[in-house]
């Protein structure tokens, strides 16, 4: 698109870089470098890596330390002279992550180093949105009270449904919630901070893509499956979760496995969720829901026919649904989360082999299947990471 008054062949007009803009960029570059570093860098290390003068790097680091965005730590004595001070992401900066699941509420406070510094997990029965969110807000306030002087910079909320950019939950079939102003109801938790609302599968995928705020994981492109009572999914490309035009990308649980299959809460039939969701696996295996993750693989290994049937159902349904996604998006790495992360290696290999048979590009790039990190509150952790993202990207706002 050509701006009004411009000609298609004209070069963009040069834009002057204000001193404040340069400072903001340099602060962001320093924080990004500290967050991704394997070893705590010194001021001199940062100056060399970022092509800054030592004086500039030192002055900006001092600002970040004063604001608690960065912490100084002692490093081991070198060959000569005094040991340089190393720099780590600040422990005084905290993001609050909240998550609603069908049977529990979770709240996590996470600092810039990715450490959990406060947590609440409580059971929750199905109920109307306002009462459940009021209970969640109470738990969040309890966690906030225990932060002991740490600086809260934001609140993220993860929900099992479709969320718009204004923090409104449009639909969550497994909660039976529709058109809920989540950000408005939870505004008191955030105080002066905006409450950021997102899909729970997207937030669980964010933790896989970014195990610590500002530090990318080993895979930058993958399809993530988040399995609980419902089944969510996310597509991660270039280390970023793909939201889609309306924030509904990655609804893997509602990819059709069999059009003539059982009815789904979303209104369709034969959705993946009806074959690999917790209710479905528990029904076929005969296991209680709270034992599916720990008991399914053991039962199948022991020859229990119902567990064997459940494993076959999961293997078939996942290979059909994931092959469609992998063929469309062209990403050949898959991460299984929730109770699917407890599948035994033989089942994981069977899923991978069936995907290879269905994915057109597998001859050149075989599909990789692995399991998630095992964070029992991955969505809440991801929501906290999202709340912290602004500090990593725009630290000048917080200095």
pLDDT given at position 269? 92
Dist CA 117 CA 91 (whole Å)? 9
Q: Which domains does the chain have, with CATH numbers?
A: 19-78 (1.10.10), 93-208+378-398 (3.30.420.40), 216-371 (3.30.420.40)
pTM attached to this predicted model: 0.86
pLDDT given at position 76? 63
Contacts of 342 (CB under 8 A, 6+ apart): 293, 294, 296, 297, 371
pLDDT given at position 7? 38
pLDDT given at position 393? 93
Spans of the chain, pLDDT less than 70: 1-20, 76-83, 245-248
pLDDT given at position 13? 53
pLDDT given at position 346? 92
pLDDT given at position 247? 63
Dist CA 349 CA 342 (whole Å)? 13
Q: CA of 375: how far to CAs of 112, 272, 274, 335, in Å? A: 17, 23, 24, 13
Dist CA 15 CA 25 (whole Å)? 15
Q: Match 């929501």 to its residue by tokens.
A: 383
pLDDT given at position 5? 45
Pairing between β-strand 151-159 and β-strand 93-100 as defined by DSSP bridges: parallel
Note every long-range contact of 136-141, with CB atoms under 8 Å and residues 24 or more positions apart, other chains counting: 136/98, 136/100, 136/105, 136/107, 136/186, 137/185, 137/186, 137/188, 137/189, 139/105, 139/107, 140/96, 140/98, 140/107, 140/186, 140/189, 141/189
CB 384, CB 108: distance < 8 Å: yes
pLDDT given at position 145? 92
């Amino acid at each position: 698109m050509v701006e009004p008054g411009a000609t298609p062949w004209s070069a963009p007009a040069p834009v002057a870089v204000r001193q404040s803009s340069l400072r903001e960029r340099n602060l962001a570059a320093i924080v990004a470098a500290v967050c991704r570093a394997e070893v705590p860098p010194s001021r001199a290390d940062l100056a060399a890596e970022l092509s800054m003068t030592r004086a500039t790097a030192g002055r900006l680091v001092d600002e970040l330390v004063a604001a608690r965005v960065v912490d100084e730590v002692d490093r081991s004595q070198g060959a000569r002279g005094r040991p340089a001070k190393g720099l780590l992401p600040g422990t005084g900066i905290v993001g609050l992550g909240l998550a609603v699941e069908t049977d529990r509420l979770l709240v996590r406070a996470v600092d810039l180093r990715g450490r959990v510094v406060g947590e609440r997990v409580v059971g929750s029965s199905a109920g109307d949105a306002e009462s459940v969110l009021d209970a969640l807000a109470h738990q969040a306030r309890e966690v906030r009270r225990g932060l002991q002087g740490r600086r809260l910079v934001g609140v993220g909320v993860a929900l099992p449904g479709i969320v718009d950019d204004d923090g409104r939950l449009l639909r969550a079939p497994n909660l039976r919630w529709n058109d809920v102003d989540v950000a408005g109801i939870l505004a008191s938790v955030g105080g002066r901070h905006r409450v950021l609302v997102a899909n729970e599968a997207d937030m669980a995928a964010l933790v896989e893509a970014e195990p610590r705020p500002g530090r990318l994981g080993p895979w930058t492109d993958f399809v993530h499956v988040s399995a609980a009572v419902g089944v969510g999914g996310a597509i991660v490309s270039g280390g970023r979760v793909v939201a889609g035009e309306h924030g509904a990308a990655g609804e893997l649980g509602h990819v059709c496995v069999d059009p003539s299959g059982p009815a789904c809460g979303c209104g369709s039939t034969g959705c993946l969720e009806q074959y690999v969701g917790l209710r479905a696996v528990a029904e076929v295996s005969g296991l209680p829901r709270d034992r599916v993750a720990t008991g399914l693989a053991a039962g199948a290994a022991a020859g229990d026919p119902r567990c064997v049937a459940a494993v076959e159902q999961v293997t078939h349904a996942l290979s059909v649904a994931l092959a469609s996604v992998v063929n469309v998006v062209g990403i050949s790495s898959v991460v299984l989360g929730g109770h699917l992360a407890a599948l035994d290696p033989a089942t994981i290999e069977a899923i991978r082999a069936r995907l290879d048979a269905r994915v057109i590009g597998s001859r050149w790039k075989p599909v990789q299947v692995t399991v998630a990190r095992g964070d029992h509150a991955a969505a809440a952790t991801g929501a906290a990471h999202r709340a912290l993202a602004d500090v990593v990207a725009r630290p000048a706002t917080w200095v």
